[in-house]
Structure 1
């Protein structure tokens, strides 16, 4: 402590000594304002120039109180750097001095709204030359809540009084935010008896501002499609920002001047059996009651719609829709004309025919309709004639059957009527001969015999066998001019069966032949005699001896020169042996000597070879 006081005294003495010779100047330069968001860090710069070194200068920071007085928050000289205690900045400031550039930087952390003050930087030399600068610290806060709400009730148009359209609110901004109303992207300015905007500002306990705004208008019919919204502008460091609310619509009531009624469905022409949906609407939207009248009958509407199901030609005529305004009780009406097309049932004459074979006849088919029709005849799914008339020539069994007359209206899908004509051709039975009539089947198996007969009247069919037995059919399907009969036979032997068909015009028959297949007679297996082991061994020994004899003969012929070219080297001086010796050459694995065995098993020396 004594050393510091001595240093200060020495420095002060030196400055006073020099002061007698020279006047030292100090100059300070600062920004007018520094802007920062609430909660962030602010930096205020004080630039100074001086002929003295930093050690000869005293630097002080102040902020202005509401009374106009200055409160020091920082002091620095050649020996001391200190932050004033008991101020709102005591724990949140730091000062950094850069002598080379003449810069003093005041840093304030966690800036609050109350920090929005004027700060003074005072630089003094030892010769009492001084200079000061001032910077205004401006604090900003973005609004954190923005909402818009439209009128919850419908508004009647063209009323003299202004109606409340919407309410906007923005909260917790600093400085105070500003609200502007828009209609279809056009800002709304107050106009007497037309547009009214009322703003209200509230300062919260935090010091932040909340602003609300209410819009009232003289509502016109055109406002039913208008979009309203609010634009909020607020200050931030370095400029201004804007945010917008979402768009809202309002319900505008306006009376109808016209009423329209139309058929919603079906589209196009209407036919009997359809369901008709009427739609009735006025060009206004005030609460109204709708009703439809037809031939002095009133129909109530549901959701402005009327549905008539399964309509007939009696529903033809004019339908009038009447709208009653529930505020003015005035009536408006509109009308639509409906025509229901029809197609009566088809009539076929005659309704049924019985023809002789070779006969030619004509049938007709007609149906009354409100539109042009198309008529066609079908048999077994195939078209056989077009037009109202069906001509049958040279009738036979192929002519017989069911004919269908189909009458359609080409202009309307699904408009169709049908009627049938049964044609029978009289004649003796004819049995279909293309079925299988010959069968080969194993005993105990079953065979189905099928007999298909046509003729009119429908013939009687009887199944019999060659021995006169009558068989009961398994199935027997009878139609007006045909029979389909099936009999099942169990195969026990060869059999001949007959399908006999007859009516009053004649008879026909078909023969079925069944051949029974008998299983082959089993052949008993041959007995195999078992020979003794001794016999088998004897046979093997005999085979070996025969092979030995054959080998001896071949070797003898070889020695005599009869084979393999040895005849030129035969010894002519050697006496012929009185006894032919048939030998077999045997040679062991470990000796070069060959032993010749005679027929009797005698050993022969090599010289006798």
Structure 2
């Protein structure tokens, strides 16, 4: 009995000693509570451990399944490293470190959403017992940029229930994104019967979350200027990020309480002939149908704009714009005043035409009735000749005659003007304008056009005649503003004088044209050619031909000497005849004059180049003796 008790005591002591040794030898494992990573990244989970016992350590990595079971993925002891097959991490993990180093690092590549699990590091000792730690792996995915869609129809302020404002959506995020609505930077929350915010969460086949939110609210008139937007917040490794959508506004419908009416165009003063646009607008939305009233007339345009084309002073007055409130059936009205400025046609006094005698004067006036002050100016031939409403003409002459245009303008309004015309006629005998050239040289058989312009009133009549008594036929006869213009065509066969004769009730005037016929001949080295006229005596020099053949120098000298001798002989003969009185017209020089008597004789003096004698011709070309002069 004593032996049995002693044996039991020995066994008890051995168990006690063994228990005390196990209590003093422990394993401690330290790990992070959480490790975060974006989907697709590579993540490392570190396991640090210590042991107070002796002997080798065994390590293994496990994860907690969705069903709460432990699944090993890695085993290690002093003799082997084993990567468990058939797990979701078989091909995507690696482990660095050992029991001797006191640190094990689990590396997971291409992290997926399904990897969001608890990972366990377990350390086992022969004498030290067991120790373990765990780390939660969190996986994140940034959602797409959020979208916002507004309601495009108008929202009436009188709706009893909240009306839909718009919707926001954030797609493909992980974990689930959050959406918050804002009105002018103020977050909106659910308010019974006032504001309703609905959320719809969708788990995509990829495992990502899409969130859609819809905002409804009772709309007030002030909401027409409000801006609405959504803020999307989502988790990322180490924090939270936020993204805002674009701002939207809504179309709010509310009734008008007042009407505004104004003249849209033209800006400023209105004149007759303008197109006037009158606009009418209520302070509500949308614009109601309008009716315009002017005096007893009603007009219903297609829009809120009344267009008046080619207005006159009859369009003056008040224009009323009227609409009906369909909720209260009250009539709303606004008005604006229209005044059309006018400028009547200019009135010229005295009459449109005035006839003056030479030396007389004239005071003419030009006025136009207008709603505004006017300015007048007189123009002749496009040039301003007088300012003011009165035109004063003194000592009337033919230069005074013509058309005077009076232009009356309104300085305040550009383009507002009218005009009147005054035609001034000056009575007097014809006066022929001096042409540029009355002495003309032309080749024989050519045709010459002679032009003659005579001023005077009554309008002169013009006839043409020649020195050989022929009446020349005009090719153009046109009355001008202050006279008449005539053109005659003359064929040159020899030297000729042509006369332009103008006459009216007050007298006559004439103009003479001298046409010299030129005969072109070819001169040979042994001949010379002289040309004379019936009214002049000239020793004409030889006209060289266009082309001269080259001859010897002796022949040229002989020709020159012969020409000089012939000219000397001709001059002697002419001088002898002159002394004997055989040449007519020795009575002396007499200029081309205009007779003041009632005779319509025109005397023309044709002078020779070498003498002071003159031949006097009558209108019909007859020679007159000195006694008749």
2:163 maps to 1:163: yes
| Distance change in 2, residues 1:527/1:156 (3 Å) | closer
Structure 1, unmatched stretches of 5+, are: 1-19, 529-609
Aligned to 1:496: 497
- CA displacement 1:136-156 (0-9 Å, x = unmatched): 100112223632222243222
Aligned to 1:532: none
- The correspondence of residues 187-586 of structure 1 with structure 2, limited to 5 A, is 187-286=187-286, 288-349=288-349, 350-519=351-520, 521-523=522-524, 525=549
Offset at residue 57 of structure 1 (A):
4.2
Contact 1:453 1:482 in 2 (8 A): yes
Aligned to 1:174: 174
- The whole-number CA distance in structure 2 between the counterparts of 1:300 and 1:44 is 81
| Alpha-carbon RMSD | 2.8
- The correspondence of residues 113-152 of structure 1 with structure 2, limited to 5 A, is 113-125=113-125, 127-144=127-144, 146-152=146-152
How many pairs does the alignment contain? 509
Offset at residue 51 of structure 1 (A):
8.3
Offset at residue 377 of structure 1 (A):
1.8
Aligned to 2:80: 80
Offset at residue 402 of structure 1 (A):
0.4
2:247 partner SS: coil
Offset at residue 117 of structure 1 (A):
0.3
- CA displacement 1:393-441 (0-9 Å, x = unmatched): 2111011100112222222111111110111001111111152222233
Contact 1:203 1:210 in 2 (8 A): yes
Which deviates more, 335-344 or 377-386? 377-386
Contact 1:324 1:331 in 2 (8 A): yes
Which deviates more, 411-420 or 44-53? 44-53
- CA displacement 1:529-572 (0-9 Å, x = unmatched): xxxxxxxxxxxxxxxxxxxxxxxxxxxxxxxxxxxxxxxxxxxx
- The correspondence of residues 592-603 of structure 1 with structure 2, limited to 5 A, is none
| Distance change in 2, residues 1:508/1:89 (3 Å) | same
Offset at residue 160 of structure 1 (A):
4.4
Offset at residue 499 of structure 1 (A):
1.9
| Distance change in 2, residues 1:26/1:444 (3 Å) | farther
- The whole-number CA distance in structure 2 between the counterparts of 1:70 and 1:132 is 13
| Distance change in 2, residues 1:442/1:81 (3 Å) | farther
- The whole-number CA distance in structure 1 between the counterparts of 2:472 and 2:97 is 132
- The whole-number CA distance in structure 1 between the counterparts of 2:81 and 2:447 is 127
| Distance change in 2, residues 1:105/1:523 (3 Å) | farther
- CA displacement 1:58-87 (0-9 Å, x = unmatched): 332110123332111012233322211111
- The whole-number CA distance in structure 1 between the counterparts of 2:142 and 2:48 is 31
- CA displacement 1:322-380 (0-9 Å, x = unmatched): 01234443320011111111111111122211111111222222221122122222212
Aligned to 1:579: none
| Distance change in 2, residues 1:354/1:52 (3 Å) | farther
- The whole-number CA distance in structure 2 between the counterparts of 1:445 and 1:129 is 146
- The whole-number CA distance in structure 1 between the counterparts of 2:551 and 2:346 is 89
- The correspondence of residues 19-30 of structure 1 with structure 2, limited to 5 A, is 27-30=28-31
- The whole-number CA distance in structure 1 between the counterparts of 2:28 and 2:447 is 133
Contact 1:287 1:325 in 2 (8 A): no
| Distance change in 2, residues 1:453/1:101 (3 Å) | farther
- The correspondence of residues 40-55 of structure 1 with structure 2, limited to 5 A, is 40-49=41-50
Larger radius of gyration: 1
- The whole-number CA distance in structure 2 between the counterparts of 1:340 and 1:287 is 29
- CA displacement 1:210-263 (0-9 Å, x = unmatched): 222221222111100111111110111121111222221111111111111111
- CA displacement 1:20-60 (0-9 Å, x = unmatched): 99x9765433221111122332222223456899x954332
- The whole-number CA distance in structure 2 between the counterparts of 1:220 and 1:83 is 67
Offset at residue 316 of structure 1 (A):
1.1
1:345 partner SS: coil
| TM-score normalised according to structure 1 size | 0.78
- The whole-number CA distance in structure 2 between the counterparts of 1:287 and 1:403 is 56
Contact 1:145 1:172 in 2 (8 A): no
- CA displacement 1:80-131 (0-9 Å, x = unmatched): 2221111111122222338997543222222222110011122345655554
| Distance change in 2, residues 1:211/1:480 (3 Å) | closer
- CA displacement 1:274-316 (0-9 Å, x = unmatched): 1110100111114521011011111112320000111111111
Contact 1:457 1:481 in 2 (8 A): no
Contact 2:57 2:99 in 1 (8 A): no
2:146 partner SS: strand
| Distance change in 2, residues 1:64/1:82 (3 Å) | same
2:205 partner SS: coil
- CA displacement 1:146-187 (0-9 Å, x = unmatched): 322222432222554322222222222211111100111221
Which deviates more, 253-262 or 168-177? 168-177
| TM-score normalised according to structure 2 size | 0.75
